[in-house]
Structure 1
Amino acid sequence: MSTSQSLQSPSFEAVMRGRRSVRSYDPTFKISKEEMKELLGEAILAPSSSNVQPWRFLVIDSPELKEKLLPIAFNQQQVVEASAVIAVLGDREGYKLLDTIYTRAFEAGYIPEETKNAMVERSVGMYSSFPDEIARKIVHTDGGLVSMQLMLAAKAKGYDTVPMGGYDAAKFKEAFGVSERYIPIMLIAIGKAAKEGHPSVRLTVDEVTSWNEFNQ
């Protein structure tokens, strides 16, 4: 068990209701590489289109590199105060690993070999022919799924997070050597809150939900 976990894990409801966007962090609190890998290992259990798993992560925990990121993220102080900032990226060519993914599923006994071969051929052909607009939409959707799972997993381990869309994506890619193959989805600051995130309200289920026929 990770040192970040209590003896009794919080309920899922407690995690969902307790997660808040935190923008003030204890700069002395550090998450170890081992704990970060454990957290990311839970995040990547998220679903993805055809199980392509196009998410990629850049964990920025070096003080010098967080300072480098600060102006790119419009000087949001959580960038340097948090234990780390995780850049969630989408790989537009993630389908190139489908043979590896489906082969592992076959070796684990989840699918027969003929199914594996058929899935690889069909999926690689389909994803490699998608227009850029569709490829971007897919990786943005999958990137959102893994990001939410990452934040909930972090809260379950006693960490706090905030998703950040306010940054210059072009400057980020240039500063951190991210090629055009990868699409920045969001930045997620993670650490221990120095000040709790403020409570917020939600629209009711009835205000956002229609049944069988959309009537908003």
Structure 2
Amino acid sequence: MEKAFKQILQNRRAINFFDQERDVPEALLREIVEEATHSPSSFNLQPWNIMVLREQEEKMRLRKLAMNQPKVSESPVTLILLADTRAWHKDNDSLNIVLNHKLDDGELTEDKKDWFFGVCERLYGKSRDSQLAFAVKNTAFFAMSLMYSATSRGLQTHPMDGFDHDGVKKEFNIPDQYWVPLLMSVGYHAKNAEILPVKQRKSYDELVVSFP
């Protein structure tokens, strides 16, 4: 098990060239996404959503807003990840899905609903910055799990931060409550494309810091 996970960690690469003749079946994508929902999430709020782009016309519209990166349109699937900054609000659809799950599982009772809403509001915080931070960090856990799940099934991914955030929101009619932390191309590596060597990573000693 330890060796298998280490291989997934090392095999997960940010791939630039995708096999344009090999699709990602819908059933496989669904499996990967649902597996990634087991990512850690504060109070299990899961404040994330995804948009799945498969149509070439949609991917080209996104590519124009993503520094014209070819992988956006050449991968069979490109995802727009969304972090919900209002998944604490009692009128939020995502929050009510979570609430109903807690009620169904017996984790919560009807008389505790106001307590639940209060906890969610305190977790998110009152400022826009704290609400954004909460939503994005939880969505980042989900995004990493997506990439590892895809890798474990022989797929490759490429997370992207190089895009016009406001332009993407406007082009795809994304509501104001969402922040777009990243885009992600998903597919199979192009057969004849080179995979570059693994880049050096910081060591334990280089990572650990203290502040006297």
Same fold (TM over 0.5): yes
Q: Deviations over 1:5-46 (max 9, x none)?
A: xxxxx8211101111110011111111222111111011111
Given candidates 100, 104, 116, the residue that maps to 1:103 is 100
In structure 2, the CA distance between the partners of 1:43 and 1:128, relative to structure 1 (3 Å rule), is: closer
Q: Which runs of 5+ in 1 are unaligned?
A: 1-9
* Distance in structure 2 (CA, Å) of the matches to 1:148 and 1:176: 24
* Distance in structure 1 (CA, Å) of the matches to 2:100 and 2:73: 41
- Conserved? CA contact 1:106–1:116, under 8 Å: no
Amino acid at match of 1:181: Q
- Conserved? CA contact 2:13–2:156, under 8 Å: yes
2:131 equivalent to 1:135: yes
| Count, aligned residues | 203
In structure 2, the CA distance between the partners of 1:124 and 1:170, relative to structure 1 (3 Å rule), is: same
Percent sequence identity over matched residues? 24
Amino acid at match of 1:202: R
Amino acid at match of 1:148: M
In structure 2, the CA distance between the partners of 1:196 and 1:209, relative to structure 1 (3 Å rule), is: farther
Relative to the length of structure 2, the TM-score reads 0.87
Amino acid at match of 2:176: E
Aligned to 2:199: 200
- Conserved? CA contact 1:87–1:184, under 8 Å: yes
Report the more deviating stretch, 100-109 or 187-196.
100-109
Q: Which runs of 5+ in 2 are unaligned?
A: none
* Distance in structure 2 (CA, Å) of the matches to 1:116 and 1:39: 34
CA RMSD, aligned part only?
Answer: 2.1
2:44 equivalent to 1:47: no
* Distance in structure 1 (CA, Å) of the matches to 2:96 and 2:206: 44
2:70 equivalent to 1:77: yes
Relative to the length of structure 1, the TM-score reads 0.86
